[in-house]
Amino acid sequence: MKPWLKRLQRRFSPRRIRLGIEANERLEGGESNQLLCFVGRELCLFTTIDASKVPEKQRDAFVSLGVKRAAPFPDPDYGIAWTGDRHASVWFWSRSRALERLGNEAAGKRLRFTPEALHVGSPAEDEAQLLALASGCEGRVWKQGRLVASRWWAGIPAAAAWQAFMRSAGLPPAGVPVPMDALIAPASWAGSGNRGGRLSGLSLSGIDAYLPRAAMVVAALALVVYAFQAGSIARNLFDAWSAERRAQDLDAPIKRILDAREAADANAAGVEGLLALRPGRPQLELMAEVARLIPQKGWEVRRWNQPTPDRLELTLHLPDANPEQLVSAWEASSLFHEVTTDIQPGGNTIVVRAAIRPSFGSVP
């Protein structure tokens, strides 16, 4: 790249900063009045949302509602990575807390926020990863190309903490892997699939946003330089006009094909909308199945929560809990799948999260 173009790119590219729990870190960036803020992993919470049964036009609102239900604060912002078949991996944080960490850096600047997690590491098919971040470490579990679990530690996790994380994701215990250095990349690894109510990937920024206008200026200068070739230009225009007329003769069949495709897409969207209206599982049915899946005595439900109609989160008091056995039993159930567990401090309290299989009864 030529030096003048580098200077121009730097002039219109955003400034970049990483927001941390203890201190912020300025990153290499441009000199514009736009500030791109990477929200540190330690400031974010993580959840997954299955939007496979939601029409595409309603997915953003569906994810936004799911984040609001999961967030323990009233002002969540979030970033999404769509992995697998319409499976949303979401990192979310408190907007007010992020602005508080930013402090005076926000004065006079246009702000944009994105989670650090979308700019470190890379997708995998079936793998457990440990990433060394600018602050602490992040563990990730991938299953069939979907990110199903993510957790942050202030340092390299102890063997017991890592094994508990693996069991909560439904995997057998394993040793702590060697952390992989994960530097913040300018572009998100989620690519164009990253969509959401608060973050829709990184759109064109910096000089890229001005390239179409620059192309128009160059085209205008070229017309001035070659104005003396009026005859040749006129001939080219005539040829182009003739080609357009011939193309119009071919447009009618193509238009019919496109109209038919649009009608098919509209019908498909309607079918998906009707499928989304299928009734959820009755609470009594779910409770009975939970009681059946926990045969030992002495257990107690401390908290019953359905953040969405197709998700169930239980907090159980379960002495001598065996998470791996519990996950296997629930996965074998006809009512639940995508089961994960999380042992709370103390050992006798366990959080079970599961997706509820849809009911195929008639729509009311």
Write out pLDDT tens, residues 144-202: 999 999 999 999 999 999 999 999 999 998 899 999 999 999 999 987 444 433 333 33
Q: What is the pTM of this model?
A: 0.54
State how far the Cα of 245 lies from the Cα of 349, in Å rounded to an integer. Answer: 74
Q: Cα angle vertex 154, ends 24, 327, to 5°?
A: 130
Q: Give the pLDDT confidence of 233-250 residue by residue, as tens digits.
A: 877 888 888 877 777 777
Using pLDDT thresholds of 50, 70 and 90, give the confidence band for residue 213: low
CA–CA separation, 198 vs 118, rounded Å? 14
Query: What CATH number is given for 8-203 in this structure?
Result: 3.30.420
What percent of the chain is predicted at pLDDT more than 70? 85
Tokens at 87, concatenated: 């499976």
What letter does residue 18 receive in the DSSP assignment?
A: E
| Residue 215 backbone dihedrals phi, psi, to 5 degrees | -65, -35
| 27-50 pLDDT, tens digit each | 988 878 899 999 999 999 999 999
Residue in 80, 68, 67, 76 with CA at minimum distance from that of residue 43: 76
Q: What is the DSSP letter of 175?
A: P
CATH architecture of 283-356: 2-Layer Sandwich (3.30)
What does DSSP assign to residue 103? G
What is the pLDDT averaged over residues 56-77?
94
